[in-house]
Amino acid sequence: MHAWNKKFFVSKIALACAVAVTAPAAMSADISGTVYDTFYSDSIQSGYIGYHGYVDNDGANNSYTGGDIYSSINNAVVNGVISTHYLGFDSNASNVLNITNTTVNGMITSRCVGSTDSTCGSTARNEYDQSPLQLTIDNSTINDTYENFGYDVVGADNKTTHQQYPTSALGVAVTLEQESNIVIQNNSHVAGIALTQGYGWADTTVNNGNTYDTNITVNDSVLTSGSYSELNSNSFYGQSDKPSDYGSRTDGATNPGDDVALSVAATAQDNSMKTNAVFNNSTIKGDVTFASTFDNNYYKGGHDSNGDGNLDTNGWDDTDELNLTLDNGSKWVGAATSNVDKDYTLYDRSANSIWPDSLYSNTTNLLIGDSVYQSGLFNVALNNGSEWDTTKVSNIDNLTLNNQSQLNVVDSTLLADNISLTNQSSLKIAAHGGVATDALNLNSGSKATLAEETASLYANTITVGNGSQLNLGAGEVDTHNMVLTDDGTFNVGSREYVLNSDMNNARDKTAADYVYDRGTIGMNSDGHLAVNGVTNGNYQVRIDNATGAGRVADYQNKELIRTYGGNASFTHANTADLGAYKYQAEQVGDTVVLAKQGITSTANAALSLPSSNAATWHMEQDTLSNRMDSSRHTQGDDKGGVWVNYFGGQQNGDNGVVDYDQDVNGIMVGLDKVTEGGGDRQWLVGMAASFAKSSLSMDNADADTDSQSARVYSSLDFKNGVFFDTSLSYSHFSNSTDSTMSDGQQVSGDNSTDAWGFGLKAGYDWKFAPQAYLTPYASITGVFIGDDDYSMSNNMRVSDQAYDSMRYELGTNIGYTFDLGADQAISPYATLAYVYEDANNDADINGDRIDNGIDGSAVRVGLGGQFDMSKNFTVYAGANYLGGSDVDQPWAANVGMKYRW
């Protein structure tokens, strides 16, 4: 207990008040609905001050002064000090005070007010026989703002002087030295609670087991600090400080007592003081202090009870307690301090705590342990989304956080014997924040984070379990034993961190009854962890970052973890996108390194575009070839005309590096004309335009291409059945990609390229029967797609992506024309061909060359036909399958019509 509060150690029996007050024996008055002043000026009274603020419910003067006001106060304004000194004076009287819908500009105290009161401070009052005070503050404010009582005194010389009776030092809003059950509820505001162990039950030949119990329940209300200082002695622009102000005063002065919201002082009475304070959906703004001393009959260091010269007992002591609980979203801003006695020379006592400064031998001055017996314990619990923002310097015994509760340590320090977080609770240590504990336990999805370089965490043992995380951040973690269990995670981030401790699982895998256990180490690809102690157990290594930047040399075999002894085994927890490739953690001896896997979804999308654009171009070229084939098998002479074709298909490309599924849909329109080239041949010349949309799907990525092409073509047909087809083309491709990286990051990119192409086809149209034909042919087609350098949104750089595709085809068509008369005919056909595509290409991503060519051998099988509806109109359709080593085209189709001149 700080010196400012030592006045609370005295019992009421020894209390002497500063003013002389005489209160008449009168019936208690109901002051509800009134404005009531507890102090008044009276020339008859000694000192000219009168007081009538005692609460009681009887008016009889049974050897003591009765109450002044009734103990149920509703809808009132009270200025001054309310005293419960005479309330429940004996075991037969009610000890209940209810304050409802009321403002008290001042305080409530259990002390007597006035030393000349005939019963104040007398032994006639048997305080420990009273029932505890039942104090309820409902929708009310007790603000501790009554700093002094001012009055005028007329002297013998008829001169008037103004006098002040100070009240600020009497205490805070609720100052009690009696057992109490305090309920503060319904949007009430209280400026400070000070509780002192005012009496006890004496030990006799045995230890008296009675306890001094105080319970505080705060619901939907606010507890702030009060003030022991006179606040009207300084101001800013006429505004004085308020008792609820936290921190230094306007004049810069500081009094630690002025920042205390709740103080609990257990004295050297022969009994323990047990205090439980529960805050539900409420706020504390101010410090909480706890002070405890050993009981009167306790002998620190031991006592010789039988006079044989040997210490054999510690005597009697009952442990004091302050248990502070914040529940249901309550919030606390302030410090917690504990000032207790300790003893480690124990004879007939057992240790009940540990001591941060440790214990040392009186003879050798060497460390002997940390177990002690403390006179009192101060425990704090945060439950169900509650929050504590620490200030200044805090020290407590045990701290627990449950069910998404929060502890924030900024510009302050916290010392606790044990800290435990459960059910997604969080500890955040930020700028100039420090936490020290013997054991930190993170459980069931909880998290501890060091957010700034000046943040520090020390614990002899840190246990991270059951999906919880310890995030190193920019701060400093110091421990002797790091325990990662049940997939608890130690996140290193991008730090190059040396852990000067052992690291292990909670369960020893060398034990006969071992149940599998595993921890997780999370880190970025540029991080590194060195464990200087012994590392035992099982761990999975998770790579948390993803980027499109960087070459293979930047990542492949980069060391992530190095250990120096132990039986630890490491496996990968995930695959991370780094540059153009995916990587996993892989153990190599006492190290863990990055091991390259396949390309990333982003790289796959970028690398697939050139080959998919080539596939679209070849599909367009097949459509044009079908048009020229159709001209040779039309009923009557085809003199050219206008035509339109839908074309579409699906292709699956996989060369072992790139892998995608492609859907193509497009339309081609053309105009051509047949001219005679002499008696034995004729020319078909024309031009065509096409518009296509290609969609690629792949793992975690997709891509789209819009293309436009223009072609000129010709077909030279000889009367003997020999023909030559040629074409030239120009195409423009507009590409876009979208992908998802391993860390969930969305990536996009777009580019455009131009292409030139050609087609050559030669064959023989053999009419082996009047209505049948067999057409062997050979063709060469090629497309040359230009280069376009661009960057993806994840900083992946794609360049030198020109793509050449040459397709060689050798096949035959067989068909038959059924003449229906009236210029109508149906001509079905079948196609069988061998196809070889030469597309030996690669592209540059981040300076690394990667194969993206889709080439190899394939077989084409097709069916189709045309229907000459009249002399001028023909419709035709065809479908084929193309399958081979790198290319699988499950289907391709075209449907068209032509109008002949």
pLDDT of residue 244: 78
> Which of 29-43, 517-531, 750-764 is predicted least confidently?
29-43
Q: pTM of the predicted model, to two decimals?
A: 0.85
pLDDT of residue 61: 43
Confidence of residue 10 (pLDDT cuts 50, 70, 90): very low
Contact 134, 97 (CB under 8 A): yes
Contact 508, 514 (CB under 8 A): yes
Mean pLDDT of 775-791: 96
pLDDT of residue 693: 97
Confidence of residue 294 (pLDDT cuts 50, 70, 90): very high
With respect to residue 820, please indicate whether it lies within any of the assigned structural domains: yes
Q: According to the 3-state scheme, what is the secondary structure of 502-547?
A: EEECCCCCCCCCCCCCCEEEEECCCCEEEECCCECCEEEEEECCCE
Mean pLDDT of 150-159: 69
pLDDT of residue 92: 56
How deeply is 63 buried, as exposed, middle or buried, from its count of CB atoms within 10 A (0-12, 13-18, 19+)?
exposed
pLDDT in tens, 191-208: 999 999 998 888 887 888
With respect to residue 647, please indicate whether it lies within any of the assigned structural domains: yes
pLDDT of residue 728: 98
Confidence of residue 619 (pLDDT cuts 50, 70, 90): very high
pLDDT of residue 440: 98
From CA 579, how far away is CA 595, in angstroms rounded? 13
Confidence of residue 4 (pLDDT cuts 50, 70, 90): very low
pLDDT of residue 850: 96
pLDDT of residue 27: 58
pLDDT of residue 91: 54
With respect to residue 566, please indicate whether it lies within any of the assigned structural domains: no
pLDDT of residue 392: 96
pLDDT of residue 160: 66
Can you tell me whether residue 593 is helix, strand or coil?
A: strand
pLDDT of residue 116: 39
With respect to residue 550, please indicate whether it lies within any of the assigned structural domains: no
Nearest to 354 by CA among 363, 346, 364, 344: 344
pLDDT higher than 60, residue 48: yes
The top-scoring range by mean pLDDT among 225-234, 624-633, 790-799 is: 790-799
Say what the alpha-carbon torsion angle 550, 556, 558, 563 is, to the nearest 10 degrees. Answer: 150
With respect to residue 628, please indicate whether it lies within any of the assigned structural domains: yes
pLDDT of residue 528: 97
pLDDT of residue 41: 82
pLDDT in tens, 211-247: 999 999 999 999 999 988 877 667 676 677 788 787 7
Q: Could you tell me which residue, 199 or 248, shows the higher pLDDT?
A: 199
How deeply is 56 buried, as exposed, middle or buried, from its count of CB atoms within 10 A (0-12, 13-18, 19+)?
buried
pLDDT in tens, 598-617: 999 999 999 999 999 999 99
With respect to residue 190, please indicate whether it lies within any of the assigned structural domains: no
pLDDT higher than 50, residue 319: yes
pLDDT higher than 70, residue 478: yes
Mean pLDDT of 57-83: 77
pLDDT higher than 70, residue 791: yes
With respect to residue 401, please indicate whether it lies within any of the assigned structural domains: no
The top-scoring range by mean pLDDT among 20-24, 227-231, 266-270, 425-429 is: 425-429
Residue 494: phi and psi, rounded to 5, are: -100, 10
pLDDT of residue 684: 92
Mean pLDDT of 66-72: 82
pLDDT in tens, 708-728: 999 999 999 998 999 999 999
Domain coverage including residue 666: 600-900
Number of domains the chain contains: 1
pLDDT higher than 80, residue 747: yes
pLDDT higher than 90, residue 841: yes
Encoded amino acid at 791, one letter: S
> Which of 270-274, 466-470, 578-582 is predicted least confidently?
270-274
pLDDT higher than 70, residue 64: no
With respect to residue 818, please indicate whether it lies within any of the assigned structural domains: yes
Find the CATH number of the domain harbouring 682.
2.40.128.130
